[in-house]
Homo-oligomer: A and B are copies of this chain.
Amino acid sequence: MPKSQIDQIDRKILTRLQKDGRIANNDLAEAVGLSPSPCLRRVKALEESGLIRTYVALVDPAMVELPVNVFVSVTLEKQVEERLDSFEAAIRQRPEVLECYLMTGEADYLLRVVVPDLAAYEQFLKTHLTRIAGVASIKSSFALKQVRYETALPLHHLAV
């Protein structure tokens, strides 16, 4: 489903829903200059195409005792395809790993891990990360502060 299907109104809908996923369809319709029914039809189409993946509630990390963000660079022993898959499968098991990227260059992984404190991170390292087969080296970088965290993708580049 290429971008050619996305017009100005769809872009407005997406921008609005990325800010407020619980907006009432009536209000959304008014905001984008449509009547409720065709607006809802567009939203459903965006959902069914997979363009809108899901709706979620965002929780404040500090208020649930999860103030520590750690970025972990992981290097694997060999770059065999099989190793990558098994590493990724293992990573997907761990709920404290919120993000994981396969990186270029040294061809390792970058993880963002969220934990209550340093002790919990040490536990994660010892009990889980170091036990994954094929892990050669691990480098941890700690965040002092989360300056910005957005889930809304910028859509300005999408042509009309």
What residues of chain A have their CB less than 8 Å away from a CB belonging to chain B? Answer: 1, 3, 6, 14, 17-22, 49-61, 63-66, 69, 71, 88, 91-92, 95-105, 109-110, 114, 116, 120, 141-158
Contact = CB atoms under 8 A, between A and B. Distances in A.
Main secondary structure of the interface of A (DSSP, over half): mixed
Given A3-B64, A147-B102, A59 B14 contact: yes
A99 B21 CA distance: 20
A59 B102 contact: no
B145 A102 contact: yes
A32 to B, nearest CB: 14
Given A59-B152, A103-B144, 4 more contacts: A21-B21, A58-B151, A66-B154, A102-B145
Contacts of A143: 101-104, 110
B148 A92 contact: yes
A111 to B, nearest CB: 8
A63 B51 contact: yes
B158 A64 contact: yes
Contact of A64 (B51, B99, B142, B146): B51
Given A98-B151, A143-B101, A158-B64, A55 B53 contact: no
A119 B158 CA distance: 15
Contact of A61 (B19, B95, B153): B153
